[in-house]
Amino acid sequence: MNWHSEYESGKTPLQKTRFVIFAAVFGILAAVVLIRYATLSFKPPSSDTVNPPRTLWERGSIMDRNGRTLALQTRLGNVTVWKPDVRNPVAVSRDLAPILGMTSDEILERIDASRSDFLYLKKQLEQPEIREIEAAMERGDLSGIGIEHITGRIYPEGRIAGQIVGFVGDEHNGLGGIEYAFETELAPEDSNGNQVVLTVDANVQYILEDIARRLYTEHQAEAVMLMAMDPRNGEILGSASLPDFDPNDIRNSDEKSRMDRPAIWAYEPGSVFKVYSMAALMDSWGSAENPVFVCNGHYERVTGRGERIVINCLASHGRVTARDIIAYSCNAGAAYASDHMDIPDFYNSLRTFGFGSRTGAGNPGETAGILNNTDYWSERSKPTIAIGQEISVSALQMLQAATAIANDGILVPPKIVSRIVSWNGKTTRNYESGPPRRILSAETARSMRSYMVDVTSEAGTGWRANVGDLSLAVKTGTAQVADARTGRYSETDYIASCIALLPAESPSLVLYLVIVQPKGEYLGGRIAAPPVREAAEALADYLGIPRGRNIQVDHPGNITLPPVDIPRIDTRLPDFTGYSKRQILPLLLRDDLVIEMEGDGWVRRQYPPPGTAFQQGMVIRLELE
C-alpha cells in the first residue's frame, strides 16, 4: 500500500469529503492560472491596452508665471509587433520606416533579433504618427502591427527650461526637476493632479538661453549658466544652463545635459565673491572707518610659525580703499582687508549670506556648497576665501547673496515655484522658500552698489557691461579651476563670470553669468561682461525697467479684461479665430476629436471652417500666428 492509500484509510467519511472538495477547488484554481498564463504568453496585447500607471487621473501641468504650458499630459501610443501575424515583413518594414523615422533594415533587424513573438517596435509616438499607422492598418497593409494607447507627457516649449521642468519615465512618474520634486502635487494617488506654477517667465528664459547657447558655442565652453532674478521677492525669472536637453526626447540626453547646474554644481566663484566678503568686512568696520591698504602687486604675510603666505594680484594698484578693491578687483587689497576681521566673525558673516547652506529654492538635488568649519582653516584660508577661492558655491547661492546688496541689507531667499493650483483652478498653496532677514546695514549695501557702479567706468574691470542709459552695479570675476586630485590650480582652465544689479539705485533685476572653462580668452571682464550688457538691454525693455529711452507713464485708470473660456464644441464647430494657443491646449485631451496646430500665438485660420457639423474623431487643423 502506498503512502496515499495509507493516509486515506485512516480518515473519517467527513475528512474524506473535505479532502475531495479541497482537491477539486485546488484543481480549478490551478487550471485558471494555467489558462491565464497561456493567454499572456501566447496572445498579443490588445491594441487599446492602456499603460497601468495614471489611467484614472490626469497628471497636473507645469506652467510658467504667465500661464504658458511647459509640461502637459497627452495621449501617446506604442507600436507593437506580433510576429506570427506578420505576413510580409519586408513590406511592413518599408511602410513603417518613414512614419517611425527608421530605416526598413533597422525595423527588420529589430523584429528578427527579438526572441519573443511579441515586441515593442517604438514607444511614445504622438497622435499624427499614430493616426497614419492606424489608417494603414485599416487598409490591411500592416498585418501583425498594433498600437498600444498610453498616457504620455509632452513639453510644448521643448528645451526651454528643460532642466528646471524635468521629465518623467516610462511609468509616467517624475524622474527629474519639478516633475520629480513635486510628484505628490502633480500626481496624487486619488485625484486629478495639481498645476505647479513657476516663477520662471518663458520669454525671459528664451532670451537667456539664446545668449547662453551662443556663448557655449563661441567659446567652446564646458558649460554656461545665465540667470535672472527679481531680488525684491526672490523669484527666479530665468535660469539657462548649457549643455541642455529636450525632455520630449529624453533618450537622446545624458546626465550632463540634464543637470540643473545652477542649483546642483558647486564651484569656486573667483573675484565676484569680493562683493560679499568686502561687504561683510565693511559692515564690521562701521561707517566711520574707511581703511586704506597698499597693493604692490601681491599680498604677503609671514605667520607666527614662519610660513610665508603670498597671494598675487593682477597689477600694482598702490593705495586702495574698499571702493578701489571692487572697481579694480584687487586681490591684495581684499586679502589685506580680511586681516581686519577675526576668523569666527568672518566665517559667521559668510554663513549669514547663505554660503554653506542650501537656499531651498525648490530645485531637487540642490548643493549646499563648501564652506569648511573654521577648525579646518589654515593660516591662509581667510585671505584666500576673501578673493573667492577655497570656498565652493552654487549659482543660486550667489544670486541669493546678491539680494542683500540689492535690498539695502535684507537677504531674500530665492524661489522657483510660485504656487500650487488645483485641477479646478483654485490656488491651494503659495510657495515660499524662507523669510527675508537683515544681514547688512543699509549703508553698507548702498555703498557696495556704488562701488559696483564704478566697475563699469573706463578704469573698472567691467566697463564692457556699461549700458549708456541704465545704471548697472557690476562685478566681474576670473577663477582658476582647481584639480580635484592634486588640489593645485590649473594654468589653463578658468571660470569667467559677471554679476549685475539694475538699476543700481533701486535694483529690480539681478543677472549672473558663468562661463565654465572657455577656450581661448578667459577673463571675465572680456568675455562675461559684454553678454551681461546684452541681457540687461533685452530684459530692461521686456520687463519695463525704467531707463533713459523708456518713458514711464502713470495713469489712474483701471483695465478689466473679461475671462475667455475654452472654445466650446457642441453639434457644430465654433470659430477658433483669435483664441490663443494656451486656450486651445485643453482640447488636446479630448478623446472624441484630434487637434492639429501649426505655429505659435493666436489662431488665424482653421479647417474645417466654423459651422461645420461636428463628427466623432474628426481632425481640426488650426494655423497660429
Statement to judge: residues 231 and 377 lie in one domain:
yes
The answer on pLDDT for 11 being more than 80 is no
Helix (H), strand (E) at residue 185: helix 183-186
Statement to judge: residues 524 and 381 lie in one domain:
yes
Instruction: Give pLDDT tens digits for 48-83.
Output: 333 334 445 789 999 999 999 999 988 888 999 999
For residue 10, give the C-alpha cell. Answer: 485512516
What is the C-alpha separation between 96 and 141, in angstroms, rounded?
Answer: 10
Statement to judge: residues 592 and 510 lie in one domain:
no
Domain boundary among 543, 572, 602: 543
CATH of the domain at 387: 3.40.710.10
Residue 173 in domain: yes
Q: CA dist 144 to 89, 109, 120, Å?
A: 9, 16, 12
For residue 27, give the C-alpha cell. Answer: 484543481
Instruction: Give pLDDT tens digits for 141-182.
Output: 799 999 998 888 899 999 999 999 999 987 789 999 999 999
Statement to judge: residues 301 and 434 lie in one domain:
yes
Residue 169 in domain: yes
Statement to judge: residues 294 and 397 lie in one domain:
yes
Statement to judge: residues 335 and 391 lie in one domain:
yes
Statement to judge: residues 18 and 74 lie in one domain:
no
Q: Which has the higher per-residue pLDDT, 287 or 530?
A: 530
Which region among 199-213, 258-272, 344-358, 599-613 has the lowest average model confidence (pLDDT)? 599-613
3-state secondary structure 330-379: CHHHHHHHHCCCCHHHHHHHHHHCCCCCCCCCCCCCCCCCECCCHHHCCC
Q: Which has the higher per-residue pLDDT, 140 or 259?
A: 259
64 three-class SS = coil
Q: From 264, 284, 278, select the one nearest 335 (Cα to Cα).
A: 278
Which is it for strands 593-598 and 618-624: parallel, antiparallel or unpaired?
parallel
Quick one: pLDDT at residue 25? 44
User: Which residue matches cell numbers 586681516?
Assistant: 339
Quick one: pLDDT at residue 149? 86
The answer on pLDDT for 1 being more than 90 is no
The total number of structural domains that make up the chain: 4
Residue 362 in domain: yes
Statement to judge: residues 255 and 146 lie in one domain:
no
Domain boundary among 543, 573, 604: 543
Quick one: pLDDT at residue 556? 60
Residue 549 in domain: no
Statement to judge: residues 313 and 424 lie in one domain:
yes
Domain boundary among 142, 167, 193: 193
Domain that holds residue 176: 62-193
Residue 456 in domain: yes
Residue 216 in domain: yes
Quick one: pLDDT at residue 205? 97
CB crowding 82-93: b at 16 or more within 10 Å, else e: beeebeebeebb
CATH of the domain at 117: 3.90.1310.10
Quick one: pLDDT at residue 49? 34
Helix, strand and coil in the chain, % to nearest 5 = 35, 25, 40
Dihedrals φ, ψ of 449, to 5°?
-65, -40
Statement to judge: residues 280 and 176 lie in one domain:
no
Residue 562 in domain: no
Statement to judge: residues 231 and 278 lie in one domain:
yes
Statement to judge: residues 189 and 224 lie in one domain:
no
For 275-296, what is the mean pLDDT?
A: 89
Residue 548 in domain: no
